[in-house]
Amino acid sequence: MSEEIINYLEESNVNYQFKVVLSPLIHRGERQIRIDFPKNEVLIKAVRQIDGASWSSSNRCWYVQNKPDNLKRIFAVFKGLAWVDAKALFEKKEERADVRVKPIKEGILKKEISPETQEKLEQLKQWMISKRYSDSSIKTYTESLRTFFRFHYDKKIEEIENGDIIRFNNEYILRNKYSNTFQNQVVNALKLFYRIVENKKLDPERIERPKREKKLPNVLSKREVACILKAPSNIKHRAMLSLIYSCGLRRSELLNLSLNDVDSGRNLLIIRNSKGKKDRVVPLSDKTIHMLREYFKLYKPIKWLFEGQNKGEPYSEGSLESVFKIAKRKAGITKPATLHWLRHSYATHLLESGTDLRYIQEILGHKSSKTTEIYTHVSTKSLQKIKSPFDDIDF
């Protein structure tokens, strides 16, 4: 960072109640600025004003691309609200303890792509918008492609061959120990790009994909779930966590619920435009409906079922994550549980209570029954009936 920026940072900080900590982060193959601060709706609203700022569920923080202009914007939006500690950004590479992946080798990526490449990425983006891809999918694809083309900055798009994808996998993804998921994202993005923009001049179908990791879903016991749901003293927080578990919701599904999505007369919850652009209905228990009525009487939301501090605005993802984190700590749960564990636990507990897999598939909104079948591997109902031959051995 330049001396001008350092001076700007020093002049911007005074004594404040809150502290915002900035540190380096590698995310989705890009250098980012990690932004950490205590849960506060005012600070969350401020960080949303930074163009390009996003919430990372995997890193559990806000982040924005690491460049001087963004650093200035961070200090500008937090000025008067919080003290910004950016010293970690100026540490030497060998002193950085919080960079979670191997630093990118200097010179491996060019800073920017060419105007011609940028224009073609915009073509793909507009096509995806017209096909109504989700914002997250558009961002994932364009960022993956941007990283790939920055790696091959010395080649024109039409000169890219299958061997260049293999070299990118070996020299960038594997070298920096990025995930299988990121590697698959790049291949998917290239397939779409060359089919739509370049008329399929490249054949990524011939590129071997990494083997999919077969991880089991993480599950909490009913007792652990009960402790977490009882922990919040705030009825709004308790209602949000309870609805996620009692209906097996994804985080985004809960936050996108409107008042009209609760059909208390038929004991149903309507999930609209969820993953895969699908609607579905899930059963609502009487106990859940009673809790929602108590919550509604107290908070009186006007548009979204769960709103933030400002009426008419949906509750933020970051705040919901904080609610779960605090509830888990109060409950004394030491497992590295995340909000999504409640959905996994709901599905597993349904299976253990005898619910047919086909119904669980419909309730969760799974496209394939194979996705739902993973819960059979963590259900203890059948496993506990198995008698170990060790019990029959006499010593």
Q: Is 340 a catalytic residue?
A: yes
Alpha carbon 7 to chain centroid, angstroms: 35
Alpha carbon 151 to chain centroid, angstroms: 25
Q: Is 343 a catalytic residue?
A: yes
Q: Give the total residue count for the chain.
A: 395
- For the chain, how big is the Rg over CA atoms in Å? 24
Is the separation of the CB atoms in 309 and 41 below 8 Å?
Answer: yes
- Residue 253's alpha-carbon distances to 89, 161, 358, in angstroms, are 35, 40, 21
Query: Cα(293)–Cα(286) distance, rounded to whole angstroms?
Result: 11
Is the separation of the CB atoms in 158 and 107 below 8 Å?
Answer: no
Catalytic residue among 120, 237, 343, 349: 343
Is the separation of the CB atoms in 358 and 369 below 8 Å?
Answer: yes
Which of the 8 DSSP states describes residue 336? -
Catalytic residue among 72, 191, 275, 280: 275
- Residue 364's alpha-carbon distances to 213, 215, 245, 255, 258, in angstroms, are 21, 18, 11, 16, 19
Handedness of CA 223, 225, 228, 231 (dihedral sign): negative
Q: Is 27 a catalytic residue?
A: no
Catalytic residue among 19, 39, 195, 250: 250
* Residue whose C-alpha is closest to residue 281's, from 302, 253, 255: 253
* Residue 140 CB neighbours (<10 A): 19
Q: The tokens of 392 are what?
A: 């029959």
* Residue whose C-alpha is closest to residue 45's, from 237, 311, 309: 309
Q: Is 237 a catalytic residue?
A: no
Q: The tokens of 391 are what?
A: 């019990």
Q: Is 375 a catalytic residue?
A: yes
- Residue 371's alpha-carbon distances to 135, 274, 358, 364, 366, in angstroms, are 24, 16, 11, 10, 7
Q: Is 275 a catalytic residue?
A: yes
Catalytic residues: 250, 275, 340, 343, 366, 375
